């Protein structure tokens, strides 16, 4: 067709305008009839913390960028751009199909923002290139002489050392291993709780106390303190993938998406998250992945998440009313050492809804050696493997949750806990064993909506109890294998979920 149009132009120039119009129409038609055409404009950007330079074009490994700051500036100009709540951000220089790849074996002590959106079947990808370990995003600073800087650690008493530090701190590690986190409590003898291999941060006076594992001066060891509140921050974006990264030492939550749609988080290693004191909420923060505000169509798969202050994965509503989180798929993950609840689905907002959540084929457990296990103020009686609940006196609901084919074991409270205003919960084909509490507990305050569940074909063995159901809730049990469970008082067990 284009050939004949061009011949028409050659023979008679008076048809020039008509011919140009036809060519433009053909180009537009081809674009809309072949959306894959957009792939031809996609680009790959490379980031290398050692050999990169932010003045490079970033378009091949030899001209890689250096910093996360450069990646952030490609998306957002803090002096000009505005992020409006609940509106997809459109000013990023990254476009659909672009890949932003970080070099394996490199380390960044920066926070990565994601304010870029792809389109269906052509997402933006944040991932890795090269050989070796996953790219490491580390939100800590070194606070000992092992890093080449001089830190004035002084003996406080016995083997406890102190350091004045004008930073808000989360989890503290010694030689990359998190120390026992001693929660600071006002007007109490916090030092009585300290033992070798523990840390205590006085957030009122900004003093860090440390008892190293051997009792030596902290300057003899690699001591790291978490200072970045979050490390990966997707905001107001859609159609993107985050994969193949290691994320560690966030003072609060390691990965904190808000107002996102159609996103995938896969093959991530997330650990050592949390311990930052929340002055407004009067609790300690810290999850592996927290999905908040209005978010939907999110897949979290093939990740390993461990050693977090609260929960490994938590879709939850808070701060604002009339929120909606839906279509969240949590599959094929290994999740452990998250003492509040390994997976927490919580609706803390008013007039809000969380619906259509699938939790499938995950390993969910606690080994009992998490850094926040011993003195977790948020959950002093331990935590379940999965917690689903709505806050007391909130006109909100959680519904249509499927818990399928998971291994749930060794948790410090119940295996699965279904709480207030949780409707149409299906618990099918799970192996639930060796939990300190019951295999499954279901309770409600009988206000607003009534919790309901279907429990089918689960193996429930060697728990503190098998299935505990509060009074006459709508629960259907069928074909479950129950063996060698003890007996618990359901009233006393429910009290453990309320501070």
Please list the residues that pair with 431 across neighbouring strands. Answer: 407, 459
Q: Considering the domain 228-495 in this protein, what is its CATH number?
A: 2.160.20
Distance CA 234, CA 258 (A): 6
Distance CA 26, CA 17 (A): 14
Higher pLDDT, 467 or 367: 467
**Can you give the pTM of this predicted structure?**
0.90
Higher pLDDT, 448 or 159: 159
Q: What is the pLDDT of residue 2?
A: 43
Which SS3 state, helix, strand or coil, does residue 113 take? strand
Q: What is the pLDDT of residue 16?
A: 44
Q: What is the pLDDT of residue 396?
A: 92
Lowest mean pLDDT, pick from 74-78, 214-218, 299-303: 74-78
404-418 mean pLDDT: 97
Measured CA angle at 172 (ends 170, 177), to 5 deg? 135
Q: What is the pLDDT of residue 347?
A: 95
pLDDT per position as a tens digit, 238-262: 999 999 999 999 999 999 999 999 9
Token digits of residue 119: 């389109």
Distance CA 126, CA 123 (A): 10
Structural domain boundaries in the chain: 2-33, 141-225, 228-495
Q: What is the pLDDT of residue 185?
A: 87
pLDDT above 50 (res 273): yes
Token digits of residue 421: 């205003």
Q: What is the pLDDT of residue 378?
A: 74
pLDDT above 60 (res 1): no
Distance CA 439, CA 432 (A): 6
Q: What is the pLDDT of residue 15?
A: 46
DSSP string of 56-106? S--SSGGG-B--HHHHHHTT--TTT--PPTTS-----S--TT-EEEEETT-
Lowest mean pLDDT, pick from 27-41, 165-179, 203-217, 233-247: 27-41
Higher pLDDT, 471 or 379: 471
pLDDT above 90 (res 447): no
Distance CA 422, CA 449 (A): 8
140-166 mean pLDDT: 93
Mean pLDDT of the chain: 90
pLDDT per position as a tens digit, 448-461: 567 899 999 999 99
Report the percentage of the chain scoring pLDDT > 90.
76
pLDDT above 70 (res 24): no
438-451 mean pLDDT: 83
Q: What is the pLDDT of residue 148?
A: 80
Q: What is the pLDDT of residue 100?
A: 98
pLDDT above 70 (res 300): yes
pLDDT above 80 (res 209): yes
93-100 mean pLDDT: 97
44-70 mean pLDDT: 98
pLDDT above 90 (res 295): yes
pLDDT above 80 (res 30): no
Residue showing tokens 């519904």: 399
Residue showing tokens 């378009």: 59
Higher pLDDT, 491 or 15: 491
110-130 mean pLDDT: 97
For residue 279, what pLDDT band results from cuts at 50, 70 and 90? confident
Measured CA angle at 367 (ends 363, 370), to 5 deg? 110
pLDDT per position as a tens digit, 217-241: 999 999 999 999 999 999 999 999 9
pLDDT per position as a tens digit, 168-185: 999 999 999 999 999 998
């Amino acid at each position: 067709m284009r050939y004949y149009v061009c011949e028409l132009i050659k023979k008679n120039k008076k048809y020039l305008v008509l011919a140009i119009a036809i060519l433009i129409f053909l180009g537009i038609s081809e674009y809309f009839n072949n959306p894959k055409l957009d792939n031809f404009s996609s680009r790959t950007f490379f980031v290398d913390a050692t050999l990169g330079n932010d003045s490079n074009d970033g378009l091949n490994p030899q001209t890689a960028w250096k910093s996360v700051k450069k990646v952030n500036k490609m998306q957002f100009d803090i002096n000009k751009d505005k992020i409006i709540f609940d509106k997809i951000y459109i000013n990023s220089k990254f476009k659909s199909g672009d890949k932003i790849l970080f070099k394996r074996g490199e380390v960044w002590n920066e926070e990565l923002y994601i304010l870029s959106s792809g389109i269906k079947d052509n997402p933006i990808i944040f991932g890795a290139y090269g050989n070796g370990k996953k790219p490491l995003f580390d939100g800590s600073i070194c606070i000992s002489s092992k890093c080449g800087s001089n830190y004035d650690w002084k003996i406080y008493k016995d083997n406890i050392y102190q350091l004045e530090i004008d930073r808000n701190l989360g989890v503290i590690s010694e030689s990359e291993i998190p120390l026992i986190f001693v929660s600071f409590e006002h007007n109490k003898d916090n030092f009585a709780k300290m033992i070798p291999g523990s840390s205590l941060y006085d957030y009122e006076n900004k003093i860090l106390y440390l008892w190293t594992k051997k009792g030596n001066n902290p300057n003899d060891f690699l001591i790291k303190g978490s200072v970045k509140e979050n490390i990966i921050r997707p905001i107001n974006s859609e159609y993107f993938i985050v994969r193949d990264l290691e994320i560690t030492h966030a003072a609060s939550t390691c990965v904190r998406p808000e107002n996102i749609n159609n996103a995938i988080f896969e093959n991530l290693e997330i650990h050592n998250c949390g311990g930052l004191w929340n002055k407004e909420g009067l609790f300690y923060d810290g999850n592996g992945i927290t999905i908040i505000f209005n978010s939907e169509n999110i897949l979290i798969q093939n990740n390993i998440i461990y050693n977090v202050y609260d929960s490994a994965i938590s879709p939850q509503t808070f701060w604002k009313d009339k929120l909606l989180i839906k279509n969240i798929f949590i599959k094929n993950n290994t999740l452990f050492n998250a003492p509040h609840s390994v997976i927490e689905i919580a609706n803390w907002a008013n007039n809000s809804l969380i619906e259509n959540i699938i939790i499938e084929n995950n390993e969910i457990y606690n080994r009992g050696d998490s850094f926040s296990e011993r003195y977790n103020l948020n959950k002093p009686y331990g935590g379940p493997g999965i917690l689903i609940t709505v806050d007391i006196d909130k006109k909100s609901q959680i519904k249509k949750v499927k818990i399928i084919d998971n291994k749930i074991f060794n948790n410090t409270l119940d295996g699965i806990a279904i709480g207030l205003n949780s409707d149409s919960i299906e618990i099918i084909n799970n192996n639930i064993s060796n939990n300190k509490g019951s295999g499954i507990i279901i309770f409600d305050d009988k206000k607003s909506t009534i919790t309901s569940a279907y429990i089918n074909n689960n193996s429930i063995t060697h728990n503190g109890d098998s299935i505990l159901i509060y009074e006459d809730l709508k629960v259907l049990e069928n074909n479950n294998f129950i063996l060698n469970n003890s007996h618990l008082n359901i009233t006393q067990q429910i009290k453990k979920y309320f501070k």
